[in-house]
Structure 1
Amino acid sequence: MRLSRPDRRARPASIVPMINIVFLLLVFFMLTATIAPPDPLQVQPPVARGAAATEGREVTLHVGADGALMIGDARAEAALAALAALPDGTALRVNADAGLDGAAFARLLGRLAAAGVTELSVVVAAP
């Protein structure tokens, strides 16, 4: 007497468990996400009137960790000379390396004031 098993065909793999896992991950990430708090005041910023209002009004000064200066193609003292040649009212944006010594940055600010810079903003990274 011979006992044999009936011929069973393999069922295709179900994707329902994978859908369940993806859904659970989606819910997990939605619940743990940081939601930005609302602004304390509703502020309507002013609107510039055309491209000419901001064109050529801001220059970026790059400062390396070793104190090297660069504006466009001008480097070192030529960069400071380029600042002195800028028209009045031009805003200066300082993009300094985080490794720059604070005392060196303070000396640079004095040199910028001597070059006639009256408006300055410093680029920083968000924490």
Structure 2
Amino acid sequence: MRFSRPRSRAPRIDISPLIDVVFQLLLFYAVTTQFVTPERLKLQLPEARTAEAAKTTKPQEAEILVTSAGEILVANRVVSEERLEAEIRALLKGQAERSVTIRGDKGAPYGTVMKVLDAARLAGAQHINLVAAKPAEARR
């Protein structure tokens, strides 16, 4: 009597664990990535002979950047001029001092900086600081 041998199947490669690991790595890198901070953004501050020493920005203080291209960044996100007041108001909510710091690039359009100032006032900012650098001869 002949018994038939069970045919062995070719081994299959299960890629489910590989997909899980790749997804977890992708999620890890997305969570731990540092986004552009104001220090890494290449702003050339305008010079002012009467500029005071920079005080450290408090973590709860609202900081607005105006680039030379005229882009407005609130909390490191590009914001349109139409949404600017609402974004500043949201940042100031729950802030005791209601303070805003504006960092404008030397080549930033003057009109854009004025719109940011106006939006900060309309949003209820009580203290508005403009950041400038001291000229080279005054720094010595």
Give the TM interval when normalised to the shorter protein: 0.3 to 0.5
Greater length-normalized contact order (CA 8 Å, ≥ 6 residues apart): 2
TM-score normalised by the chain length of structure 2 = 0.44
